[in-house]
Structure 1
Amino acid sequence: MSRPLAKHPLASQTLSGADIVVQVLADEGTSVIFGYSGGAILPTYDAVFRFNREHRTAEGAEKMPLIVPANEQAAGFMAAGYARASGKVGVCLVTSGPGATNTVTPVRDCMADSIPIVVICGQVPTAAIGSDGFQEAPISSIMAPCAKHVFLVTDASKLEATMRTAFEVARTGRPGPVVIDIPKDVQNANLVFQGEGVLPIPGYRARLAEVNRNRLSAKACSEFEALLKASERPLLYVGGGAINGNAAPAIRRFAEAYGLPVTTTLMGIGTVDTTDALSLQMLGMHGTAYANYAVEDCDFLITLGARFDDRVAGVPDKFAPHAKAIAHFDIDPAEINKVKRVQWHHVGALALAIDDLHAHLQSRGFKPDYRAWHQHIGALKSQHALNYDRDAATIQPYAVIEAINRLTGGEAIVSTGVGQHQMWAAQYFDFKEPRLWLTSGSMGTMGFGLPAAIGAQFARPDKIVIDIDGDASIRMNLGELETVTTYNLPVKVVVLNNFGDGMVRQWQRLFFDSRYAASDKSLHQKDFVKAAEADGYAFAKRITRKEELESVIAEFVAFKGPAFLEVHIDGDAGVYPMVGPGMSYAQMITGDWITSRDALQTAESVDKADLF
């Protein structure tokens, strides 16, 4: 018989609503808060201050430090970076009105990528709601379409249960952001602390329990086994759900046991070690050519925590055209058959499902022979490898990333903004573990990289954290350079400067006859190195010559404190491969330095003709 939980030491004590908010944060394991103050949230900020004064660690550090950014959007992305790097719920604490509306973008970003954060917003007093009071905004209405759930606490007696329920909803099932809007009078109310209790949300909990109970049956395992036995060219297609569901260890065991090649989405990077022989790295619009060709050639596509989004399956009818069957594992039933019809599916916890399937196949003595498929994959990797002009006089962005990667060896946490630099980082960095790759996937939010790196550094102080950014993206949250030095974080920032919106220019070059409308930043006057120095960076350097690359990057990576590096890169460097809008993988554009399948076949035909 299990023992009853110990009574909370503060149970039955009278606390203010603000003190209850902070105590629940502590109870939920919150180790850091990111936020910006303001009138409507001041009672809770004061409660955080008093909590930290009374609960210092043995070393004298604050138990739950409050990190203040330059703006609230960055606070939301810091919480997201913390959540992505740690797997825990990130916390953001902001005031009403503009403070809360500034977090709409990170909330939507987290919803799109299934990232668990809790955003706590101050609100005008309950009696003033709807009166257009100072710094009032209808946050529950604004956030409702963007978040997993929104709570407006108008009954102070429900504050504690609401707080605990918010964390439950954020972290369970398909994770996501939860917003709690708390009027100032609720924060100031005197309440009896219960030390336990959640809101009655029977529908959500019933659906969650059903998904968690839904283990693979013997019949389902046998049906999957039949599909796998009939396959000669199976391929695992793995998405962000594998990382969010902590299923990477199970997937690695499964892939290694049966020799199953693996390709991942942008959000699934790190599920398997990208240097592993079975890894094909990323597929999709800017995936490796060999991964995309493997999708073209596979006869059984096994989809794990991925959703066939438009950057992967842009033309669903032409995606995996030779697959005789597609299997789909997901925790969200809404994703099954939403974009691509599948022949087998399972809705449930991914790690459990993979382990159950693995046990079933082992019990049946399943030992496939995929040597021919492995040889084919090896040929694809060799013939269609990532490449670029290595003899160019200008600095190539790929070379910058390769140089950093040689020093970090797939062990660093890498965050990015959005654009060309994001795709180059995804292609050319190695990632040996999950939660090392942090990027805004579905929303594609410029300005994500720097604040996400700050959140990640708090989550993983043992890791090197590097923000790979673009000159356009970093401008969006440039104020957070000062946040790095304020807290003396050893975050390393790289700006790949091509003096413009590089990805937009690439599209304009390919599809708009090189009309660079509003994407050229060559006339801008920003001196990034001086900006970094003004914000207190002891290491702030610029590379303009190819010969400087190796030595300066080595110095940059080795530097112990905050470090900033700007690199002037070739403005014409593109992201290839590229699967353009309306194109199938067979029509992929590989650029000048990656061999396409059509070019290879043409060359082979010429070689054969020379024999006769």
Structure 2
Amino acid sequence: MDTATFTSLHSDTTASSRHPLAGQTMSGAEMIIEVLAQEGVDTLFGYSGGAILPTYDAVFRYNQRHRSAAAQGDLDEPMRLIVPANEQGAGFMAAGYARASGKVGCFLVTSGPGATNTVTPIRDCMADSVPVVAITGQVPTHAMGTDAFQEAPIVNIMGSCAKHVFLVTDPEKVEATIRTAFEVARSGRPGPVVVDVPKNVQNWVGEFRGEGYLDIRGYRQRLETLRSAKLSDRKCRSFFEMLQRARRPLLYVGGGAVVGDAQRELRDFAHTYRIPVVSTLMGLGAMDTTDELYLGMLGMHGTAYANYAVEDCDFLIAVGARFDDRVAGKVEEFAPLAEQIAHIDIDAAEIGKVKGVDWAHVGEASRSLQQLLRYGESMGFEPCFDAWVEHVHGLRTRHPMGYDRTSELIQPHYVIEQLNALTGGSAIIATGVGQHQMWAAQYCDFREPRQWLTSGGLGTMGFGLPAAIGAYLACPDKTVVNIDGDGSLRMNLGELETATTYGLPVKVLLLNNLGDGMVRQWQKLYFGDRFSASDKSLRRKDFIKAAEADGYEFARRVTAKEEVAAALQAFVEFPGPAFLEVMIDPDAGVFPMVGPGSSYKEMVTGEFIPARQAAPRSGRSGGAEQDAAEAETQPQSPDLF
């Protein structure tokens, strides 16, 4: 969306809901905080500085006015202010808060380097459709464009990274702009919104209206069209005609099903028609990962049986997914036997962007699936896909996840299996980016959505620890574990101190393989073992000493396999912040693996996951039953095609 400053206002509130402070005189900074409170913000993340000081002062005075007599510390404040080690950490904390809660996360930073340090979390939130509002201080309007101290052109910088950027040059519009920023962040396809507020606008004094939004008529019209989007009987009939013809339908579920809170409708749809489900990295948790119909993650590091199911299906139903390169690989050979492809997404730009589809609907995933269910019920649709379900269960039996269980070295898969047994799929798991991220996705269970927090689209190292902090502040009743790698953790290591400063019982599980494992794996496979810049064994970081220096009372290192189970139990049960470093096999790899630009039939399963010999594919038309029947050469159930 283009950056702009909107001039008109409209009100959607009534006299009966008039804000109690409406009509009072206050500064622009105070108006910002009152709107945040009105929007339900209970936690702010941020680092102060000259250009944002008036707003930080307004936070202090707001808490002073509303603090209860029982308040004991920072976490008891009406609007908690969490100060990270770095502004990037603030952005990722807000993102973790938003991902775990479904609410809009908010962070507050100063101008210049304070604002530019948040470019990465803003782009990260855009890539994964995460609703956050970033309020950045700016030099006074009269100094803008003069290269003033700590000035940066935030509108220009953030314009290509965020869903929208507002620059407030008219102080009369400050409260309406903040209110509109939250509306834009949470509506439609969610995303990050940046509000750049010059210091003189924060210091301006005027009348607080307590209501009103900017007039962004075109955007609201599109939203209304989206909300009212209804599947016609003709489109429903067309969908069910395809489903009726299908013998091997498969649901391909992405992060849109999580963001759109469509888990109930998705599970109802899958169970009503007995359709197996695969998910993307961002779609984990939309379907209970222990469900008999769930086949795991698909794609570059998806389970072998999920990828084989994609190879074998004849009707692919994509819900809130975007056919990205880590899933589709060689696009023309993705789901090669699918005679029909259907796609439901809230963003029209995603339809046909990567792969052509035969049926599509732009709308909310939850409502769309609900409408299809109602139509199917009204027409008495009762398909029978039992043979297909039996087939995919056979795939799971014959091609299970596996690793070297006999090695004397600690295998990361084993560590995560043990952690998963302790948490029972109920913990919130955050990760950095790399091999540990993929092992966590493969071996952790997620019974519900919003338990899996990872940087998917942008793949940002250093994401895990600050995101876990934000997630705990959003969900203090949950066990929150950050599974990290030594390279990724190092990126935002300063946030260890943030967890202990505020006494947050976030658990940090470090799988240390003394290097950038994923880069090293690619160098093994594609660069002739030339480990350029990926071997960190010569670095001198002692993570245990670092954790202890930052106040961790539980900080342990495990070097023997027999110590893992007991150490993990003590780690999970420790009542405060806990740090556990496990020295894993440095040569452990992530498998299966579909190489970049490759098709699923070229998937490498490694030494410990049984592969199958794929039969030649004949494309989307002709020979589908024969190809699918011949695809499995290992012993299997009677031919179901």
Q: TM tier, shorter chain?
A: over 0.9
Whether 1:21 and 2:32 are equivalent positions in the alignment is: yes
Equivalent residues of 2:326, 2:596 under 8 A apart: no
Match for 2:418 among 396, 400, 403? 403
The structure-2 alpha-carbon separation of the partners of 1:57 and 1:254, relative to structure 1 and needing over 3 Å to count, comes to: farther
Distance 1:140 1:550 in 2: 50
Distance 1:232 1:603 in 2: 17
Three-state SS of the structure 1 residue aligned to 2:268 is helix
Equivalent residues of 2:310, 2:335 under 8 A apart: yes
Distance 1:487 1:521 in 2: 31
Distance 1:138 1:175 in 2: 24
**Per-residue CA shift, 1:20-73, capped at 9, x if unaligned?**
000000000001000000000000000001111111246422111100000000
Aligned residues: CA RMSD: 1.5
Whether 1:150 and 2:161 are equivalent positions in the alignment is: no
Q: Which amino acid aligns with 2:152?
A: A
Distance 1:58 1:577 in 2: 57
TM-aligned CA deviation for residue 582 of structure 1: 2.1
Distance 2:272 2:593 in 1: 33
**Per-residue CA shift, 1:554-574, capped at 9, x if unaligned?**
111111100000000000000
Distance 2:607 2:391 in 1: 23
Instruction: Quote the residue 1:31 is aligned against.
Output: 42
Match for 1:545 among 560, 571, 574? 560
Whether 1:308 and 2:323 are equivalent positions in the alignment is: yes
Three-state SS of the structure 2 residue aligned to 1:285 is coil
Instruction: Quote the residue 2:65 is aligned against.
Output: 54
Match for 2:430 among 405, 415, 426? 415
Whether 1:45 and 2:45 are equivalent positions in the alignment is: no
Distance 2:315 2:64 in 1: 58
Equivalent residues of 2:612, 2:634 under 8 A apart: no
Instruction: Quote the residue 2:189 is aligned against.
Output: 174
**Per-residue CA shift, 1:77-102, capped at 9, x if unaligned?**
00000000000000010000000000
Whether 1:91 and 2:103 are equivalent positions in the alignment is: no
Distance 1:148 1:130 in 2: 24
Whether 1:197 and 2:204 are equivalent positions in the alignment is: no
TM-aligned CA deviation for residue 265 of structure 1: 0.3
Distance 1:231 1:599 in 2: 22
Match for 2:474 among 459, 465, 475? 459
Match for 1:494 among 509, 513, 517? 509
Distance 2:17 2:41 in 1: 20
**Per-residue CA shift, 1:575-600, capped at 9, x if unaligned?**
00000012100110000000111299
The structure-2 alpha-carbon separation of the partners of 1:70 and 1:375, relative to structure 1 and needing over 3 Å to count, comes to: same
Distance 1:596 1:20 in 2: 61
TM-aligned CA deviation for residue 602 of structure 1: 11
Give 1:372-383 correspondences, 5 Å limit. Answer: 372-383=387-398
Distance 1:63 1:561 in 2: 23
Distance 2:635 2:568 in 1: 43
Instruction: Quote the residue 2:300 is aligned against.
Output: 285
Equivalent residues of 2:313, 2:338 under 8 A apart: yes
Q: Which amino acid aligns with 2:96?
A: G
Give 1:564-583 correspondences, 5 Å limit. Answer: 564-583=579-598
TM-aligned CA deviation for residue 3 of structure 1: 7.8
Three-state SS of the structure 2 residue aligned to 1:270 is coil
Instruction: Quote the residue 1:610 is aligned against.
Output: none
Distance 1:603 1:408 in 2: 36
Distance 1:380 1:576 in 2: 16
Q: Which amino acid aligns with 1:35?
A: G
Three-state SS of the structure 2 residue aligned to 1:119 is strand
Give 1:205-220 correspondences, 5 Å limit. Answer: 205-220=220-235
Instruction: Quote the residue 2:273 is aligned against.
Output: 258
Distance 1:236 1:405 in 2: 25
Distance 2:259 2:530 in 1: 40
The structure-2 alpha-carbon separation of the partners of 1:126 and 1:471, relative to structure 1 and needing over 3 Å to count, comes to: same
TM-aligned CA deviation for residue 605 of structure 1: 7.7
Whether 1:439 and 2:450 are equivalent positions in the alignment is: no
Distance 2:414 2:15 in 1: 59
Distance 2:601 2:607 in 1: 17
TM-aligned CA deviation for residue 486 of structure 1: 0.2
Whether 1:129 and 2:140 are equivalent positions in the alignment is: no
Whether 1:120 and 2:135 are equivalent positions in the alignment is: yes
Q: Which amino acid aligns with 2:44?
A: I
Whether 1:325 and 2:340 are equivalent positions in the alignment is: yes
TM-score, L = length of structure 2: 0.93
Instruction: Quote the residue 2:611 is aligned against.
Output: 596
Three-state SS of the structure 2 residue aligned to 1:311 is helix
Instruction: Quote the residue 1:276 is aligned against.
Output: 291
The structure-2 alpha-carbon separation of the partners of 1:272 and 1:605, relative to structure 1 and needing over 3 Å to count, comes to: closer
Equivalent residues of 2:249, 2:275 under 8 A apart: yes
Q: Which amino acid aligns with 2:286?
A: T
Q: Which amino acid aligns with 2:613?
A: D
Whether 1:350 and 2:365 are equivalent positions in the alignment is: yes
Whether 1:10 and 2:25 are equivalent positions in the alignment is: no
Distance 1:595 1:343 in 2: 34
Q: Which amino acid aligns with 1:65?
A: R
**Per-residue CA shift, 1:444-493, capped at 9, x if unaligned?**
00000000000000000000000000000000000000000000000000
Instruction: Quote the residue 2:546 is aligned against.
Output: 531
Distance 1:222 1:500 in 2: 54
Distance 1:4 1:320 in 2: 56
TM-aligned CA deviation for residue 5 of structure 1: 4.0
Q: Which amino acid aligns with 1:36?
A: Y
Whether 1:484 and 2:499 are equivalent positions in the alignment is: yes
Identity of aligned residues (%): 65
Distance 1:436 1:556 in 2: 19
TM-aligned CA deviation for residue 168 of structure 1: 0.3
Distance 2:490 2:323 in 1: 32
Distance 1:191 1:272 in 2: 50
Distance 2:206 2:452 in 1: 43
Three-state SS of the structure 2 residue aligned to 1:598 is coil
**Per-residue CA shift, 1:341-390, capped at 9, x if unaligned?**
00000001111111010011011111111111011011100011100010
Unaligned runs of 5+ in 1: 608-612
Distance 2:373 2:79 in 1: 41
**Per-residue CA shift, 1:164-192, capped at 9, x if unaligned?**
00000000000000000000000000011
Match for 2:94 among 62, 79, 96? 79
The structure-2 alpha-carbon separation of the partners of 1:602 and 1:572, relative to structure 1 and needing over 3 Å to count, comes to: farther
Distance 1:575 1:41 in 2: 45
The structure-2 alpha-carbon separation of the partners of 1:288 and 1:58, relative to structure 1 and needing over 3 Å to count, comes to: farther
Distance 1:271 1:602 in 2: 29
Instruction: Quote the residue 1:470 is aligned against.
Output: 485
Q: Which amino acid aligns with 2:195?
A: I
**Per-residue CA shift, 1:77-136, capped at 9, x if unaligned?**
000000000000000100000000000000000000000000000000010000100000
Three-state SS of the structure 1 residue aligned to 2:323 is coil
The structure-2 alpha-carbon separation of the partners of 1:603 and 1:290, relative to structure 1 and needing over 3 Å to count, comes to: closer
Match for 1:387 among 385, 391, 402? 402
Aligned pairs, how many?
606
Q: Which amino acid aligns with 2:88?
A: Q
